[in-house]
Structure 1
């Protein structure tokens, strides 16, 4: 199982001896670039994942040392190994792991220095969510020898993560990566405890509650961020929605529908953000129109849709409205429903869930929440569907607004 490797050329003492001939001669002009460039792919027999090694200082330059910049892509790591002369690691970017045989794993971050004793069996590499780059140094090269052992298995790697508690668990990572495959979290670098707690909850515990389709879940959370006025998180979820196959039209329809419920003053920045993301992803604008009404029939069609969703309650609202406020009821029919909700691009059950997501996130709209809980039920979204929605929104809107919405649910659709 153990393999004792003689040094090959310049890099053997660091990582098992790949002769990077093109990096032997480093002139002064290119020395700084050598600390930035990834260099050459490290040998697969001693590494798991994608690792790059760039030699910076070598014995050929008159030093009894090897110094290299090593870049580990996310989840990449070395095999277990040891160095007869010991090793120093200077972390210059990202987040990674270091572990000695028989000892707990240690999280290493930018600015950390890892002092590895002589002949100690160890491994090091990137964390689950982040790449990691370090400078590796071995002195007394003429006396050194590297011994390589077995790879660090996925089981051991993930166990080290879960024991550490500063990284999300494997299931949370997988669900998070489904939405944002290549995202590197800056918050994870500065606040790892918070990210571990939140991601384990939102991306494992909450997602595991039900079988809500990932496209629908992502779209509804995205809708709630408009109600919460959370522009940064909205941008995240627009990209996530596109990543999981939500159509650009569906995203735009959610944003348009937010206008009558949230107000254009609050929505305009979200329209701009959507357009920026679409342009970045080469989605041509404007999208195809999904309007289904005209100025002449918007009132009629909007009122008909209101009655389809809410039943005879709409007739009562018109009948009981004071004359000086009747125009508001007419606006609701012609504008809110006629101009917006009648549009194609989203089916009516989804639109009702989207509206409920807006209202829950807004807060202070319990009267409207109750009305739209009943509207959801009328179009086929039962109590369990609404519970699933509220559960998935909880990490993003918080407990007070979720609990208020649950009170409304229990009043309108009590548990049987």
Structure 2
């Protein structure tokens, strides 16, 4: 039992990364580091002669100046760090970067001052490769190497930095170095100004953005929100239910791409699949339960929709009751109030759905999401859907729920 617990601990990470973080560096290595680093050997077969380890650095941690007689490869996998060769400018390292270190080149590498960092260290020519450890990278040297990059984001507010780190712990966008002006403007707006508005909690904000990214078919941004979701209390069941809930509104042609991304993400993070089923209907009960839920949300309007439907279109109303509501909306894992909010987020993000948006504005009010709440949702989505769709939604809100003059 103790061995199992220790093995599980070895798999834990202090920030989101692919490989195990491992244990604190043993004394034979840590004496050559400033700050705390961790080591996780990944290969065992010595006959292959390709030793590979994951090395993780806490913020500000770096190793001494040193060289390898046989050279080394660094493959960056998470966070943000730096690499510097003697008498050359430092190089910022982001996930995906590969550093080829020639034999006997004096260098150092480590984390940025404000970010965790991890890389794979591949030992080249292991039969003859030896390290030569030299002096420490002084605070002045380290500051000089890293300050230039930090200055690019000098106008990023402390609240934006803090909120971004809370949503995406350990992650640094590549655009931070390639498009610093855009990141500064966007992060100050989306992670400071927008988050100051309204009463939505962080978990709800992330969930409505996830629904919005599905509706817009923005897979990359959805993948980012998966990180935020898992780091901020959105459960695996809730993540899956957001996906399933989007199917009758955005269509399976869009949603299927996100299912694959989600499954890969969950597997990578040790979440067993499939998650627990949340279905509560059967083929025999889906119509009855779906129609009942429709009427609970929309009242007598459902009866009028059936009464006013042309005979050749009545099957669509039946599909709405049995499929949209019976198969999907009745599922557990998310309550009715949250599902109506997510429906609203999906519809406003798709655009061109103003008629349905108006109907679900009233549905939201009926289940307890008032106008101020819906305005909070729209405000949260603004950085992701843009102003035209936002203003269209506000017009719908004011039409269905007029302001008191």
After TM superposition, is the score higher than 0.5? yes
Match of 2:21 in 1: none
Larger radius of gyration: 1
The Cα of 1:283 is off from its aligned counterpart by: 0.7
Q: Are the structure 2 counterparts of residues 308 and 280 from structure 1 closer, same or farther at C-alpha, using a change threshold of 3 Å?
A: same
Root-mean-square deviation (CA, aligned residues, Å) is 3.5
Q: Deviations over 1:128-178 (max 9, x none)?
A: 468699xxxxxxxxxxxx9989x99xxxx9xx96x8655522111111111
Pick from 383, 388, 407 the counterpart of residue 371 of structure 2.
383
Q: 2:392 aligns to what?
A: 404
Quick one: which of 146, 156, 172 aligns to 1:184? Answer: 172
CA distance in 1, matches of 2:222, 2:164: 15
**Equivalent residue, structure 1, for 2:260:** 272
Between 176-185 and 222-231, the greater mean CA deviation after superposition: 176-185
Taking a change above 3 Å as real, the CA distance of residues 43 and 392 of structure 1, as seen in their structure-2 partners, is closer
Query: Does the CA-based 8 Å contact 2:279-2:331 persist in structure 1?
Result: yes
Distance 1:148 1:294 in 2: 66
State the SS of the aligned residue for 1:415.
coil
| Structure 1 unpaired stretches of 5+ | 1-20, 24-37, 58-70, 78-86, 96-109, 111-124, 134-145
Equivalences for 1:225-374 in 2 at 5 Å?
A: 225-374=213-362
Aligned partner of residue 91 in structure 2, secondary structure: strand
Q: 1:127 to 1:406 in 2, by over 3 A?
A: farther
Equivalenced residue count is 312
Structure 1: 4+ residue segments shifted above 6 A: 73-77, 130-133, 146-149
Query: Which of the numbers 192, 207, 210 marks the counterpart of 1:219?
Result: 207
> Distance in 1 between the 2:288 and 2:118 partners?
61
User: Residues of 2 paired with 1:339 and 1:49: CA distance?
Assistant: 48
Q: TM-score, normalised by structure 2?
A: 0.69
TM-score, length of structure 1 as denominator length:
0.67
Query: C-alpha separation between the residues in 2 aligned to 1:74 and 1:384?
Result: 37
Decide whether aligned partners of structure 1 residues 300 and 185 sit closer, same or farther in structure 2, where only a CA change above 3 A counts.
same
Aligned partners of 2:138, 2:293: CA distance in 1, in Å?
74
Contact 2:59 2:117 in 1 (8 A): no
Q: Deviations over 1:344-402 (max 9, x none)?
A: 00000100000011101101000000000000000000011000000000001111111
Deviation readout 1:61-119 (Å, 9 max, x if unpaired) = xxxxxxxxxx9x98999xxxxxxxxx955112249xxxxxxxxxxxxxx9xxxxxxxxx
Tell me by how many angstroms 1:51 deviates. Answer: 2.5
What are structure 2's unaligned runs of at least 5 residues? 1-26, 37-57, 68-75, 100-110, 120-136
